[in-house]
Structure 1
Amino acid sequence: MARVLSKLGACSRSQAEQWVREGRVSLDGRIIRDPYHPTMLDQQLVAVDGKPVRAVEHVYVMFNKPRGLIVSAADERGRATVYSALAQAGLPWLGPVGRLDKASEGLLLLSNDTTWAAGITDPVTHTDKTYHVQVAGQPDAATLQAMRVGIDDAGDTLKVRRVSVLRAGDKNAWLEVVLDEGRNRHIRRLLAALGFDVLRLIRVAIGPLALGELAKGQWRQLDVDEVRALETRGKGEKTPARN
């Protein structure tokens, strides 16, 4: 049941499970309280609060997340979320496609197409995510190689697919880091273990989709070609590695 509501684009999977447990969801007029209740959408009528739920048009959005926003529909501590920034946009419910922590910035995808989103975030597909990372200090060649080889941190293997120095100053440097899988605070934890503090972390691309000139705090819808390009990678195609 919860999976059906999510696939229809009505809400997230977790929100759907909550609605079902609260008794707000019915199937052919009968209240269902089991989120895993089998549902045949083509033969049965699903309703929330008595209102039939129909499939909504799929929407795909890219957002340039500013630092300080939480990637969550609500925060128990009352902190600002990405949804507060999108509140006046007139968009339907959209779920985040992956995450960025509060201190991180840059490209965030949101969509109500949960199948498309799952194809991008599934670890099996290895969709590249590219970041520009400012660190205190100047990582040398040995540090960059250690990032490629990886380390063990609290049972997680943390490594990068590619890393290079974009530019370096007297006290800090900017790195370009590419991940094809991601753990919680992956880059921050890896660099901390190697003795480097992260000053800024900006996601600049997901697969072939680049943040480009989209201003901080602004959003736009993806075009058909952009959606399809990410969908291709969601089915397992990897972007060729750059030397």
Structure 2
Amino acid sequence: MRGIAIRLRVSPMRPSRPASRYAIPSAPRHGLARVLSKMGVCSRSQAEKAIREGRVSVDGKVVLDPERPADADRQRILLDNEPIAASTRVYIAINKPRGLVVSAADERGRDTVYDLLKDAGLPWLGPVGRLDKASEGLLLLSNDSVWAARLTEPKHHVDKTYHVQVNDIPDQALLDRLIEGIVEEGERLAARRAVLLRHGEKNAWLEIVLDEGRNRHIRRLLAAHGIDVLRLIRVAIGALPLGDLPKGKWRHLTAEEVRALGEK
């Protein structure tokens, strides 16, 4: 019996298509409240409030969860029925007077630094760091949350320089102890630099530099050594000085100043 030859036709394998053409788009990385904040529309707390009040929609649906993932590049996001768009980046310096609260709205009705910006025609701006009510001097505000984080996150160690009037005349040993630091309630409080600027008979002015700031950092550090603060003025952030900016006034930062601070 003759064998029967069977010829099989095998189609050549087609090259696989690039996986990237069929890759599933990556999921949005940030919650809705953070998206609004990063775009400079409002603060994160303001965004959370607006979302919970039902004032924000994504692709036509009202979202009530501030942490729901969202992507402003791929989704249509409305706030009060108006499309959101990234605001022009604004960076300003204020010479904060003593007695003002660094807050957009104070629950106790106290005057805030935002009273200095009334009728200025500025977009929403958030404080870059804080100064307590009794402190004064250089305060930055911006709607650029990435830039602000670069200046305020402890890991970046951006110097803040203060002139501090105290009710004593510290000697060098005490200044050294300020640099050595203390631990209070689990927090390490220390100065990067502390020098005596001038003194009278009963009080003195110190220059204190911090490379990270905790709540009431300088006041707590000095109080631990029995010294009271009479005045506390922030005179520089990084290489940016307060300069001759009048008390209660503000100005735009130059592009060079913004870049220099962001590069620290």
Question: Aligning the two structures, in what range does the TM-score lie when normalised by the shorter sequence?
Answer: over 0.9
Residue pairs, 1:47-86, within 5 angstroms: 47-86=78-117
Once the two structures are superposed, residues 13-45 of structure 1 have per-residue CA deviations (whole angstroms, 9 ceiling, x without a partner) of: 111111111111100111011111111211111
Figure out how many residues of one structure are paired with residues of the other and give that number: 233
Q: Distance in 1 between matches of 2:192 and 2:216?
A: 16
Range that drifts further, 137-146 or 93-102: 137-146
Partner of 1:94: 125
Deviation at 1:88, TM superposition (A): 2.1
Partner of 2:146: 115
Q: Which runs of 5+ in 1 are unaligned?
A: 234-243
Partner of 2:257: 226
Q: Given the alignment of the two structures, is residue 12 of structure 1 paired with residue 43 of structure 2, yes or no?
A: yes
Partner of 1:236: none
Q: Distance in 1 between matches of 2:235 and 2:119?
A: 25
Deviation at 1:190, TM superposition (A): 0.5
Partner of 1:151: 182
Q: Given the alignment of the two structures, is residue 207 of structure 1 paired with residue 238 of structure 2, yes or no?
A: yes
Deviation at 1:224, TM superposition (A): 0.3
Q: Distance in 1 between matches of 2:69 and 2:117?
A: 34
Q: Distance in 2 between matches of 1:59 and 1:40?
A: 23
Partner of 1:23: 54
Q: Given the alignment of the two structures, is residue 186 of structure 1 paired with residue 217 of structure 2, yes or no?
A: yes
Q: Given the alignment of the two structures, is residue 136 of structure 1 paired with residue 177 of structure 2, yes or no?
A: no
Q: Distance in 2 between matches of 1:159 and 1:87?
A: 37
Q: Secondary structure at the match of 2:212?
A: coil
Deviation at 1:147, TM superposition (A): 0.3
Q: Which runs of 5+ in 2 are unaligned?
A: 1-31
TM-score (norm 1): 0.95
TM-score (norm 2): 0.87
Once the two structures are superposed, residues 151-203 of structure 1 have per-residue CA deviations (whole angstroms, 9 ceiling, x without a partner) of: 11122111000010010110100000000011100000000110111000000
Deviation beyond 6 Å, 4+ runs, structure 1: none
Partner of 1:163: 194
Deviation at 1:63, TM superposition (A): 0.2
Once the two structures are superposed, residues 104-144 of structure 1 have per-residue CA deviations (whole angstroms, 9 ceiling, x without a partner) of: 00000000001100110001100000000000010111110
Look up the equivalent residue of 1:9 and give its one-letter code: G
Q: Distance in 2 between matches of 1:161 and 1:137?
A: 20
Deviation at 1:214, TM superposition (A): 0.2
Look up the equivalent residue of 1:43 and give its one-letter code: R
Between the two structures, name the one with larger relative contact order (CA 8 Å, sep ≥ 6): 1
Q: Distance in 2 between matches of 1:176 and 1:69?
A: 23
Partner of 1:40: 71
Q: Distance in 1 between matches of 2:121 and 2:161?
A: 29
Look up the equivalent residue of 2:131 and give its one-letter code: L
Q: Secondary structure at the match of 2:140?
A: strand
Look up the equivalent residue of 1:160 and give its one-letter code: A
User: What percent identity do the matched residue pairs reach?
Assistant: 65
Partner of 1:238: none
Q: Given the alignment of the two structures, is residue 177 of structure 1 paired with residue 208 of structure 2, yes or no?
A: yes
Q: Distance in 1 between matches of 2:62 and 2:123?
A: 25
Q: Distance in 2 between matches of 1:120 and 1:28?
A: 34
Partner of 2:6: none
